[in-house]
A and B are shown apart, each in its own frame.
Chain A
Amino acid sequence: MKQYVIIGNSAAGISAAEAIRKNDVAAKILIFSDEDYPAYCRCLISYYLAGDVKEEKILYRPEDFYRENNIELFLNKKVARIDPKKSRITLEDKTQVSYDTLLIATGASPKLPETKGIKKRGVFGLRTIKDAKEISGLLPITKAACVLGGGLVGLKAAYALKKRNVGVKVVIKSRQVLSQMLDSEAAGFVQKRLEENGIEFILGEDVAEIIGNGDIKAIKLGSGKAFETSLVVVGKGVTPNMDPIKETEIKFNEGIITNNLLQANIANIYAAGDCAESFDLTLGGLCVNALWPVAVEQGRVAGANIAGGNLNYAGSLGMNSIEFFGLPAVSLGIYKVKDGEAGFEELKLHDTKANLYKKIILKDNFAVGAILVGDIKNSGVLLRLIRERIEVSSFKDKLLRENFGYPDIMALVKDKEHLYV
């Protein structure tokens, strides 16, 4: 009987465990988590903080999931080290556990800038249910909060705080919100919608210092300006959790380097989710796409391969979907052509009054990316054009139109159509 060890109990870890169990009913599956909570919907913690989602709705799987699937879950157990030569892991409490095959799904942690005062009490990331609960506990005594960073987590935090009647200022180093998923035009729509709903933005400024003796009192900006705040949420992206592999022969750049089977450079070690670097379909090289859907898919592929399968992982691409106050926005693949880069073509529609913005980026008549704001209904079809590398010249003039859809690409997709006869 094989013993499979999974480090990490979120999207990638759970979907891998399910895939292993599907292919091997007898194997021992052990999951180690450094958190104190069964698998939960990590992306919902901002909704939980906002009060939109109750705690009982946050569990990712039913309570009896681990028992039903005969999975041993170890909570509050941080893995200190992996020893690939001996095929075993060592926990922080010195316990050693051996494995036949290991999945590293350690996820990522919020990046903290080296700002003066960043370690003070009252400065939070928003990554775990524990973070959300701690922030939530402070809100009754919080009048003004500050969010550092205008990425997805930063904006979701700002939304949640505002929803809980706390004044929010978002300080963003760049000149726009969501600079990792939208161009400045699209970002303008989102920012406006958030501002209309009472969230303040300070763009093009960095925080110089978090001021306070014990509790936080204020934020000082690089320009010298300062304002009162008693709570700071940092949303400046995440970095893969590489601690247990740093001193090992497992290869990593930003994340663990994987092959098309999601295997690391050591045969009985796999990696999936926010800690893994895998092939990116639009960039044509390895990168970390720290996204829930990507983690689930990678977990499933890695899990199947761990259980003896031979599933090829086609690759991922950067994509995201958001909605704030009734304005949806989707970003797919390459969302911005860098200045001076040749060979790209942009199809664009911008209607400020209708809150509508669509942009599709083509290269040699292949779609490589898109941004949709206001009307996102065709994003899945566009994603398919990108993923399957479908040549668009025969329907290019229709791409931005209201009635564009799957029937237009039906004859060109990989799977044979079988519903229309």
Chain B
Amino acid sequence: MKQLYYDVKKCLGCKSCEIACAVAHSLTGDLFKAFKEEVLSLPRKKVLASKDKNYPVSCRHCKDPVCVDACMAAALVYDKEKGMVLHDDKRCVGCWMCVMVCPYGAIRPNIKTKLPLRCDKCKDKDEPSCVKACPTGAIIWQEELSLKV
């Protein structure tokens, strides 16, 4: 299972990952066209600064996901094979229980679409868009547990 890791020493807080994320999840997939879409695509990742360092924050696809427990619409499920928390947009009612319980603050509400903003690891793409977009190589996309620090 591949996971996103972050080399915090390299992160400049430029937010290229945020923009790439928003574009990747827009309808057109193009930065300039995305701005003209009826509902503006928002990033599922946020770079937060703390004590002079920058931390990209997004869904970690926890193995014991509290958001799945909290989902009163059964829209969130943990897919063991994929190692991912999946979200069924069609079932979601926008109650924000998942936002309320995420211990990482990694799920944010999109009030316009009434859907939670949550990293889906760019589903079918080879790698998440944020990885490619990072100019310093601070975002690492690799197999879990194999990371040697």
B7 beta carbon closer than 8 Å to chain A: yes
Which of B69, B91, B100, B149 is within 8 Å of A319, CB to CB?
Answer: B100
Instruction: Give the total of A residues in contact with B, Cβ under 8 Å.
Output: 44
Interface membership of chain B positions 37-70, coded 1 if the CB is closer than 8 angstroms to chain A and 0 otherwise:
0000000001011100101010010000010011
Given A297-B69, A377-B108, A419-B5; A405-B95 close (CB under 8 Å)? no
Q: Which residue of A is nearest B117, CB measured?
A: A377
> Are B97 and A321 in contact (CB-based, < 8 A)?
yes
Interface membership of chain A positions 408-421, coded 1 if the CB is closer than 8 angstroms to chain B and 0 otherwise:
10100100000111
Chain A residues, Cβ within 8 Å of B60: 419
A376 beta carbon closer than 8 Å to chain B: yes
Given A52-B93, A292-B97, A420-B8; A407-B57 close (CB under 8 Å)? yes
* CA distance in complex: A294, B101 (Å): 11
Cβ-closest 10 pairs across A and B: A380-B102, A293-B70, A407-B50, A43-B72, A407-B55, A381-B105, A405-B48, A321-B100, A292-B72, A296-B69
A349 beta carbon closer than 8 Å to chain B: no
Chain A residues, Cβ within 8 Å of B134: none
Q: Which residue of B is nearest A413, CB measured?
A: B103
Given A61-B74, A321-B99; A378-B105 close (CB under 8 Å)? yes
> Are A376 and B109 in contact (CB-based, < 8 A)?
yes
Given A405-B46, A419-B5, A421-B5; A44-B93 close (CB under 8 Å)? yes
Say whether chain A's binding surface is mostly helix, strand, loop, or mixed: mixed
> Are A44 and B73 in contact (CB-based, < 8 A)?
yes
Interface membership of chain B positions 85-100, coded 1 if the CB is closer than 8 angstroms to chain A and 0 otherwise:
0000011011111011
Given A57-B90, A293-B69, A300-B69; A420-B6 close (CB under 8 Å)? yes
Instruction: Give the shortest distance, in Å, between A138 (CB) and chain B (any CB).
Output: 23
B-binding residues in A (CB < 8 A): 15, 41-44, 47, 52-53, 57, 59-61, 292-293, 296-297, 300, 319-323, 326, 328, 330, 332, 376-381, 383-384, 403, 405-408, 410, 413, 419-421
Q: Which residue of A is nearest B100, CB measured?
A: A321
B23 beta carbon closer than 8 Å to chain A: no
Q: Which residue of A is nearest B90, CB measured?
A: A57
> Are B73 and A383 in contact (CB-based, < 8 A)?
no
> Are B100 and A47 in contact (CB-based, < 8 A)?
no
Chain B residues, Cβ within 8 Å of A328: 96, 99, 109, 111
> Are B99 and A41 in contact (CB-based, < 8 A)?
no
* CA distance in complex: A296, B99 (Å): 17
Chain A residues, Cβ within 8 Å of B46: 405
* CA distance in complex: A260, B4 (Å): 36
> Are A405 and B57 in contact (CB-based, < 8 A)?
yes
B106 beta carbon closer than 8 Å to chain A: yes
B32 beta carbon closer than 8 Å to chain A: no
> Are A406 and B69 in contact (CB-based, < 8 A)?
no
* CA distance in complex: A408, B8 (Å): 14
- 10 residue pairs of the A-B complex, CB under 8 angstroms, read A44-B72, A297-B66, A319-B100, A322-B96, A323-B111, A330-B96, A379-B105, A407-B50, A408-B48, A419-B4
* CA distance in complex: A405, B50 (Å): 9
